[in-house]
A and B are shown apart, each in its own frame.
Chain A
């Protein structure tokens, strides 16, 4: 941790704290400024509404030349998020660009909650369900939201 924190990360952190995205909070860890504790509120128009999802975000040494590593800590029923919380999102992989930011990444994840994409699935069983019986899938997603994503709401 000897290396100095790049100015880009400092500025991004400052802006995240001073001007947060509605429905998203991101706070750097006290002992590691590259590690962020993230909370995303389930979008109102989605089966995840009413839940608050905890994520972790880490900026690797190469950032911003390499994408941040993001993972859901809260269990979620979503075709593009697997059991381990890994997210299938193009900008976290081959579509990463150094011009993207923590802010844009979190916004994309929020959008992914509003618009699950079963055509590009990570959790294949969930995607299958989403495709064949969407009503049932949405019901399960709502139940999971109630069971697992409400503990941060006071």
Chain B
């Protein structure tokens, strides 16, 4: 944020100003200048953290948990990852029934029938049942005591990593659900640097994803992690790579539309691509963690490999609810009024509706690209004027600001279309479409004035700017904040 403020107000860097994501930037100055004081900020409160700083966040979380319950740090990590870092929930569960809680949290094993004599003697001989070899000097094991040789443990870890599992690697014993703490895994991978790096990367991913305040920056190859407590889908801008995105879902900032709606919309827009067709035909999202799941076998009982949630592929219900009243989901729940309408008529009407919104959404997106060129032209124009001693650089900044504001308004306008598409008919939709039309009108008038900025008086241009930003603020205020 500091960088941007500097480049906008002091002008040290105005030549370089104009990244492709400028319309995402926090240029509050434009709004201030036209005397509209937004009551809410579109920017989330956030900080950008490095991997080391995030590790600090994890350590703090672990320490605070360890100070509340008697538990080893390595297990605290497992507990926090599995419980979205909700320490209160963990403490409550732990105090209620420690044994049961530790078992359910994959830290301790269920009590086992006594080990057979042969199993005990083979352990004495250093026998590993997975590779069927003996004579191993050490047989590492987790808290459950199931011993296997280091070589097999490494093979197991490698195999789990190839499936993308890191924080929740289970013991190799059948039906043993104890998770391997990172300490245990890292010790085994000491001699395998490539695998160790892979594990650390996946583990960081699991830990960050489980933490409600953390989110990876979506910029290409950017390693920054955003920390924010923002509950609304507001905008963050990475201080390292300057990518802007929604703090909740990581997509392009999409006010006034919600994350779920924009996700639906984007999938819909991509529908004519082959990948999208494949995704919609063969995959569904896990109802719990929203991972994309491809059905690889015939069985409809699906377990998400990431969050381990069991669900039914057909009805998305929790698998457990299927138990007694078998296959409720195979019954078609018919809505008589909808079913009466001929299918192709429905499909056609749906397509028309979609195209109406899509064309407008797409059109604004194209306009935004073209106005990027306009911004370059204006920048050059300002340079020329200053060189001709026709006013100073500061005198012409209002032109620059007018394009910034235009982009900002058009950007919001673009994202009003997915919102309207999914909004059910009624007074709320009427109000929304009224405000949308008002903003549409102001944006086009502003665009007209900006393109002819030279012949438009500064006062008139600023009046346009003020009106457009005002409409934008009103719309966001009524439907986003």
Using a CB–CB cutoff of 8 Å, the interface residues on chain A facing chain B are: 6-8, 11-12, 62, 64-66, 82, 86, 88, 91, 93-95, 97-100, 104, 118-124, 127-128, 131
| B146 neighbours in A (Cβ, 8 Å) | 99
Kindly provide the distance from the CB of B133 to the nearest chain A CB, expressed in whole angstroms: 6
How many B residues, CB 8 Å from partner? 30
How many residue pairs at the A-B interface have CB separations less than 8 Å? 72
A124 and B159 form a contact (CB under 8 A): no
Nearest first, the 6 closest Cβ-Cβ pairs linking A and B are: A65-B159, A97-B174, A8-B132, A88-B299, A11-B132, A98-B172
B326 and A119 form a contact (CB under 8 A): yes
Query: In the complex, which residue of chain B has the Cβ closest to the Cβ of A104?
Result: B174
18 A-B pairs with C-beta separation under 8 A: A7-B133, A11-B132, A65-B156, A65-B158, A66-B159, A82-B298, A93-B297, A94-B305, A97-B172, A97-B176, A98-B130, A98-B156, A98-B172, A99-B148, A120-B299, A121-B299, A121-B300, A128-B330
CA distance A100 to B132 in the complex (A): 12
Query: In the complex, which residue of chain A has the Cβ closest to the Cβ of B299?
Result: A88
B297 and A88 form a contact (CB under 8 A): yes
Q: Is B327 an interface residue (CB 8 A)?
A: yes
CA distance A100 to B175 in the complex (A): 10
| A64 neighbours in B (Cβ, 8 Å) | 130
Contacts of B291-338 to chain A: CB distance below 8 A: 297-301, 303, 305, 322-323, 326-327, 330
| B175 neighbours in A (Cβ, 8 Å) | 95, 97
B297 and A8 form a contact (CB under 8 A): no
Contacts of B130-144 to chain A: CB distance below 8 A: 130-133
Query: In the complex, which residue of chain B has the Cβ closest to the Cβ of A62?
Result: B159
Complex partner residue of A88 from B133, B155, B301, CB under 8 angstroms: B301
B322 and A122 form a contact (CB under 8 A): no
Contacts of B162-210 to chain A: CB distance below 8 A: 170, 172-176
CA distance A8 to B176 in the complex (A): 21
| B172 neighbours in A (Cβ, 8 Å) | 97-99
| B330 neighbours in A (Cβ, 8 Å) | 124, 128
Kindly provide the distance from the CB of B314 to the nearest chain A CB, expressed in whole angstroms: 9
Kindly provide the distance from the CB of A90 to the nearest chain B CB, expressed in whole angstroms: 9
